[in-house]
Chain A
Amino acid sequence: MAKKADLKEIDIKIQSMKKTAEELKQMGEDFPALYRNISRVLASIKMLELNISDVAGI
C-alpha cells in the first residue's frame, strides 16, 4: 500500500507525465492520430490525479 511519503513522489511523476502529454498534444494539432490519442492519455492521467495527486496535498 502506498504510504503518505510515497504519494508526493508518485505525484511528481504524474505531473511530469502530464507535462510531456500536454507538449505532445500541442505538437499534434495537425496530426489527428497523435492529437486524439494523447487526449485520451491526458484523460487517463486525470484519473491518476483524482486517485493520487488530489490527496497528496491534503
Chain B
Amino acid sequence: MISEQKYWNPVLETLPHEKIRKLQLEKFKRIFSWAHERSKFHRGLYEKAGIKPGDIRSFDDIRRIPTVEKSMMRGIQRKDPFPYGDALCVPLEEVSEFRQTSGTTGQPVYQADTWQDWEWWAESWAFILWAQGYRPKDRVFLPFGYNVFVAFWAGHYATEKIGAEIVPGGVLDTQARILKIQELQCTAMMATPTYVLGMADTAKNKMGIDPRSLAIRKITCAGEPGASIPTTKKRMEEAWGAKVYDHAGATEIGAWCFECEAQSGGLHVNEAFFLVEIQDTETGEYIEEPGRRGKMIITALDRQAQPCVRFDSKDIIEWSPEPCPCGRSFRLIKGGVLGRADDITKVKGVLLAPSAIEEVVRGLDGLADEFEVIVDKEGDIDRITLKIEILKGREGERKKIEAQLKDQLRLKTNLGYNLEFHDYGTLPRYDVKAKRFKDLRGKH
C-alpha cells in the first residue's frame, strides 16, 4: 500500500552519503552549464571570475564560483526581459508562474518559474509532506491568503500531488477558517507559527472552541523559525493537540529542508535537490563538520527559469552530529535555521539573535504569545525594550513573572532589558510573517 510507505522516494532518501555527493556534483555541473549558457547575468559573473563549465570537477572547484546575493538580483531586475532581467534562462513565453519576495530586507525580488519549475516546487514539497505523515486520506486546510508570495502555494500543489485533499482557506477571516476546519473535520494545516498561535487564541478566546477538539493532528509551519524553537513548538502543539513540523524555504531557492515525523531536533536538507554549503562568516572557510555555525550558500540543482546557483542566503545553520532515527540519509541541520547573518545584531557590544528572546518569552508560563522588541539609543547607549502581555487572570503574578523573565533573558542573551507589560490583546497581531524586532538605532 502506497500510504504505508515511509519515504516519498525510497531510493533518494536512503542513498549513501558518498552517492548523494556524486549525484550533487553531476547535477551541479548541469545547472551551472545551463545558467552559463542561457543567462547573460550568470555568464558575466563567471567570466569575470575566469570560470567555465568544463572547469568544474570537484566540490573545491564549486567553491571558487562567485556567490549571488539578493542585492545583485535587485540590480538586474525591472529591465528586459521585463521584469526579470538578465538572469532569465528561458523565453518569456515559457514563464508560467510569477512570485516575489516579501521585501523584508529591501525592494522585492521577482521570481520566474516555468511549469516544469512549478512541478519541481511541488515535488520538493511532496518530500516534506510525506516525511511529516501526510497521506492521501488527509484533508488539508490552507489558511493562507493566496497572492504574489510563494509561501504555501507549493504546499497546496504538493497536497494534490501526494493524493490528499486540499481545502483552500483563501480570503476567509480567522473565525470563518476555524469554522470551516470544524465543519469539514480537516486533519492537517499549514501556516506560519504566528498564525498557528493566533488561530488558537481566536478559537479559544473569541469563539469558545478548544482547538484540541478539532480534527487537526498535523501542522506544517514555514516563514518563521518558531516551529524549531522548542518553547514555541510546545505552545503550538499543546494548543492544537497536534504534531507541529518545521520546514524552510525561500522564493529564490525553493523548499530545501524539512522536519520529519521523528522530530529529532533538526531539519533534513533535501540533498538530492539542493547543494548546501556552510561558510564561516568571519574567515570565509567552508565548514564540513557538525557543530560549527556559518551562513548557508545554496544551489537549487534543478530549477531552470531563474536559476539559484550558489545563492548567499545569509541563513545561519550548522550540521547536526547525529543521524536521524528515521533512516533518511539526507543530513540534518541542528535546530533548523538559527537566524540570519543580517538579523544577528550587536547590542551593547553583544551579539543578539531575536530567536533567543522568542525562546524565553514563549517558555514562560503566564505570558501571552505576542511580544515586540525595540532597540534604540538613550544618548550614546543602546537600549532594548521588550513589550510583553500577561495572560488574562495572571495579572497578580506580574512581579514573579517579571523576575523570571529578567533572569532568563540575562541567562540566554547576556543583556539587560527595559520591560514593558501591556494588557492582553493590545500588541499587534500578524497573519503571516510577524515583525517583532525593530532596530531604530539608525533612525535617530
Interface segment among B116-124, B213-221, B362-370, B403-411: the answer is B116-124
**Which residues from chain B contact A52 at a C-beta distance below 8 Å?**
11
In the complex, A1 Cα to B8 Cα: how many Å? 11
Q: Give chain B's interface secondary structure class.
A: helix
In the complex, A42 Cα to B19 Cα: how many Å? 27
Please tell me if B22 contacts chain A, counting CB pairs below 8 Å: yes
Please tell me if B421 contacts chain A, counting CB pairs below 8 Å: no
Interface size class of B (residues with CB under 8 A): 20 to 34
Contact bitstring B80-121, A, C-beta under 8 A = 1, else 0: 000000000000000000000000000000000011101110
In the complex, A12 Cα to B367 Cα: how many Å? 60
For the complex formed, measure the closest distance between the CB of B127 and the CB atoms of chain A, giving whole angstroms: 10
Chain A interface residue count, CB cutoff 8 Å, equals: 16
In the complex, A21 Cα to B27 Cα: how many Å? 23
Q: Which residues of B in the span 1-59 have a Cβ within 8 Å of any Cβ on A?
A: 5, 9-12, 15, 19, 22-23, 26-27
Given B10, B27, B118, B123, which contacts A54 in the complex, CB threshold below 8 Å? Answer: B27
In the complex, A51 Cα to B23 Cα: how many Å? 12
| Given A2-B10, A50-B302: A58 touches B23 (CB 8 Å cut-off) | yes
**Which residues from chain B contact A58 at a C-beta distance below 8 Å?**
15, 19, 22-23, 26
**Which residues from chain A contact B10 at a C-beta distance below 8 Å?**
1-2
Please tell me if B337 contacts chain A, counting CB pairs below 8 Å: no
Please tell me if A46 contacts chain B, counting CB pairs below 8 Å: yes
In the complex, A19 Cα to B123 Cα: how many Å? 22
**Which residues from chain A contact B115 at a C-beta distance below 8 Å?**
39-40, 43
Please tell me if A14 contacts chain B, counting CB pairs below 8 Å: no
Query: Are B15 and A50 closer than 8 Å at their CB atoms?
Result: no
Please tell me if B272 contacts chain A, counting CB pairs below 8 Å: yes
Given B5, B12, B119, which contacts A55 in the complex, CB threshold below 8 Å? Answer: B12
Q: Which of A42, A51, A52 has the most CB of B within 10 A?
A: A51
Shortest Cβ distance from A42 into B: residue: B116
Given B5, B15, B23, B116, which contacts A43 in the complex, CB threshold below 8 Å? Answer: B116
Given A2, A7, A43, A54, which contacts B119 in the complex, CB threshold below 8 Å? Answer: A43
**Which residues from chain B contact A42 at a C-beta distance below 8 Å?**
116
Contact bitstring A24-54, B, C-beta under 8 A = 1, else 0: 0000000000000001101110110011101
For the complex formed, measure the closest distance between the CB of A45 and the CB atoms of chain B, giving whole angstroms: 10
Query: Are A55 and B123 closer than 8 Å at their CB atoms?
Result: no
In the complex, A16 Cα to B10 Cα: how many Å? 23
Please tell me if B130 contacts chain A, counting CB pairs below 8 Å: no
Shortest Cβ distance from B21 into A: residue: A58
Across the A-B interface, the 6 shortest Cβ-Cβ residue pairs: A43-B116, A1-B10, A43-B119, A43-B115, A47-B123, A58-B23
- List residues of chain B with CB under 8 Å of any chain A CB: 5, 9-12, 15, 19, 22-23, 26-27, 114-116, 118-120, 123, 272-273, 302
- Beyond known contacts A2-B11, A42-B116, A58-B19: 16 more, CB 8 A cutoff: A1-B11, A2-B10, A43-B114, A43-B115, A46-B116, A46-B119, A46-B120, A47-B119, A50-B120, A50-B272, A50-B273, A54-B27, A55-B19, A55-B272, A58-B23, A58-B26
- List residues of chain A with CB under 8 Å of any chain B CB: 1-2, 7, 39-40, 42-44, 46-47, 50-52, 54-55, 58
